[in-house]
Amino acid sequence: MAPPAGRLTAPSSSSPPTPSRSALLLAFATLYLVWGSTYLAIRIAVASLPPFVMGALRFGGAGAVLYVFLRLRGLPRPSPRNWGAAFLVGGLLLGVGNGLVCWSEQWVPSGQAALIVATVPLWMTALPWLAGRGQRPHLAALVGVALGLAGVATLVGGLSGARGTAAGAALFGGRLGLLLASLSWAVGSLWSRRLPLPKEAAMATAMEMLAASPLMAVTALARGEWGRFHPAAIPPGPWIALAYLGVFGSVAGFGSYVFLLKHTTPARASTYAFVNPLVAVVLGTAVLGETIGARTGVAALLIVSAVAAVIWGSGARRTRA
């Protein structure tokens, strides 16, 4: 994955000071490249690790280390209201959003997963308008939403010879899971700037990971995953992938996303959707030998064009306002 914004308007005067251009560029570069590689790491990890167990370990470990580090550096203890916001946002972004990505990648190739998750900016544009909390999107953005839906329909409906089989049903279910993950990620992102999260992006990141970990652990328990979790039987590859996801995907990647949500617009923070699918497809093809069929290529063209139209339309709407 997306993930993880608020109203498509400028931050209020109480927002944190604008960071330097170099800090923003570093955050964007980390988001583009690191998050694009996490789809490959997830695919490798869930080959042996149960998906929600993996998520609980990933976010619990990364969140705990980051939280302790920040507290030792003198950051204040979060309030109960901060924790309540973190449980809501972390549950939507990570517990549901990332959790379903991990679950889906048991069957869906990493490149396809990245393409479906790339629809997050479409949801973030359409949802405020549909909920009556935002202006009608620019025509270009509406065209982008339509193109994105067509791209997803093209990809989700493409089961070819697997249609009607158990493998085809699993693949179709995984793709639908990714759509739900994208929707949950968009809702969590939109709410994150409305809720009383800590002003420090790093602390908000740590709290959201700590909030998501027990939610994923309980989900794993309900699914019987802990009974299938045998650490000694897992080869080194998935453990290395899990460590990469914890350090780079969670702390560096998710931290950069939270940072950008606080200091840029949701539309700009979502531009990772341009690059992540390309990185994921290249890595999936090179490392795992994933194939790119004609249907996937058409879907990729539609979805990337849709994201471009949505981002451009959002910018045009702000320019006219």
CA distances from 16 to 71, 234, 253 (A): 20, 44, 20
Q: What is the pLDDT of residues 81-134, one digit of tens each?
A: 999 999 999 999 999 999 999 999 999 999 889 888 888 877 887 887 777 676
Q: Quote the pLDDT of residue 282.
A: 87
Q: What is the DSSP string of 126-142?
A: HHHHHTTSSPPPPHHHH
DSSP summary character for residue 246: I
Instruction: Compare 59 and 138 and report the one with higher pLDDT.
Output: 59
Q: Is the CB of residue 8 less than 8 Å from the CB of residue 266?
A: yes
Residue spans per domain, the chain:
21-320
Q: Identify the pLDDT of residue 158.
A: 60
The pLDDT tens digits for 185-240 are 999 988 888 899 998 888 999 999 999 999 999 999 999 999 999 999 999 999 99
Please give the pLDDT value at position 7.
32
Place of tokens 């949500």: 261
Question: Whole-angstrom Cα distance, residue 8 to residue 321?
Answer: 12
DSSP per residue over 85-96, as a string?
HHHHHHIIIIII
Q: What is the mean pLDDT of residues 300-321?
A: 68
Among residues 212, 186, 187, 208, the alpha carbon closest in space to that of 197 is found at 208
Among residues 183, 244, 181, which one has the least CA distance to residue 54?
Answer: 244
Residue closest to 273 by CA, chosen among 121, 137, 127: 121
Q: Give residue 12's pLDDT.
A: 42
Token duo for residue 33: 């490249």
Q: In this structure, are residues 192 and 70 in contact, taking their beta carbons and an 8 Å threshold? A: no
Alpha helices, DSSP H, located in the chain:
21-45, 51-72, 80-90, 99-104, 110-117, 120-130, 139-156, 166-192, 201-222, 236-244, 255-263, 266-269, 272-288, 294-320
pLDDT in tens, 144-173: 778 877 887 787 666 554 556 788 788 889
Is pTM beyond 0.75? Reply is yes
Contacts of 107 (CB under 8 A, 6+ apart): 167, 170, 171, 173, 174
Both tokens of 148, joined, read 């994105």
Contact by Cβ (8 Å): 302, 154: yes
